[in-house]
Amino acid sequence: MVNSSQVSHFTLSAYVDTGLFRYFLFTAIMSFYALIVGANVLLIVVICINRRLHEPMYLFLCSLFANELQGSAGFFPFFLTQILSDVHTVSTLCCFLQIFLLFSYINVQLCSLSVMSYDRYLAVCHPLHYGARMTAGTAAALIALTWIYAFTEVAVMMSLSARLQLCGSVINKVYCDHYSVVKLSCSDSSASNIRGLVYIVCVVAGVVSLICFSYFRILRVCFCGSAETRHKAVTTCTPHLASLLNFSCGCVFELIQSRFNMSNVPDSFRVFLSLYFLTCQPLFNPLLYGLKMSKIRSSCKSLISGKM
């Protein structure tokens, strides 16, 4: 038994030999990654340089797009390198760095979506007091707390994982995953398990409760309000709700394929399940908000045509 700090590398066993097809796969994924980076950077630039978009809702979106760039940077360059490699190994340092980036992305995404649901609740249910309750300063403080919490929580998780004694170095995935590393442990992992339980009870339950509360109150306003109020609520909440459902589905896919025996499922489908929330969400959000929200759409047109 050795400490995880003494393991020199991990082997990623989910990769298969694709022969010459690897170059086509590399080109397709590289193009997909370039599209993700271009779409998110474009919307961040549009929000930053257009003063009309310096409102709480757009500040939350800017944070969301920046987080998707971070999550994509933690996965795609590594994935592209592994596609062209014949030996699918990763050093311990790089593996833990990837775990840190990906779990930070998950935490920031989850907390950002919950804060955005509260923001939509204030906009729909308390429109007259929205400007006083949700100022730009308040939004900036919530964004800062979201990022600080995410990095702190992941740092605690990593410090507990680094102390584990490992009896193996094979990860049955195409990227490094915290749960997969913990499964390799042959020492007492109760501290890590307790942290995970506290995280689920306090954080995930709290986030889900805030989202459910916000949309329950929004639905009450829709049922009791006028047709104009319902139209405003639908227009305001549809992009956020679609993003929330898409991310939730991706997380459920990841939990299913990580926690349950799926040996009867084709390998390619299992890989797709594990990558959905890392690949589809970063492209889904900028396209959704860029096409759905008229202010962002018109600002993008103005920027591209050079009239901003």
**pTM of the predicted protein model:** 0.88
Fold of 8-305: Rhopdopsin 7-helix transmembrane proteins (1.20.1070)
pLDDT attached to residue 18: 75
pLDDT attached to residue 62: 93
Which of 152-156, 194-198, 212-216 is predicted least confidently? 194-198
Q: Is 134 helix (H, G, I), strand (E, B) or coil?
A: coil
pLDDT attached to residue 2: 41
Which of 1-15, 30-44, 50-64, 281-295 is predicted least confidently? 1-15
Phi and psi for 199 in degrees, rounded to 5?
A: -60, -45
Comparing CA positions, the residue from 28, 167, 14 lying closest to residue 89 is 14
pLDDT tens digits, one per residue of 179-203: 888 888 877 667 777 777 777 777 7
pLDDT attached to residue 105: 93
Q: Where are the domains of the chain?
A: 8-305
C-alpha distances (whole Å) from 147 to each of 143, 259, 274, 300 are 6, 27, 24, 27
Q: How confident is the model at residue 290 (pLDDT cuts 50, 70, 90)?
A: confident
User: 166 has which bridge partners?
Assistant: 2, 185
pLDDT tens digits, one per residue of 230-286: 777 777 788 888 888 888 888 888 877 777 766 676 767 777 777 888 888 898 898
CA atoms within 13 A on the CB side of 219: 7
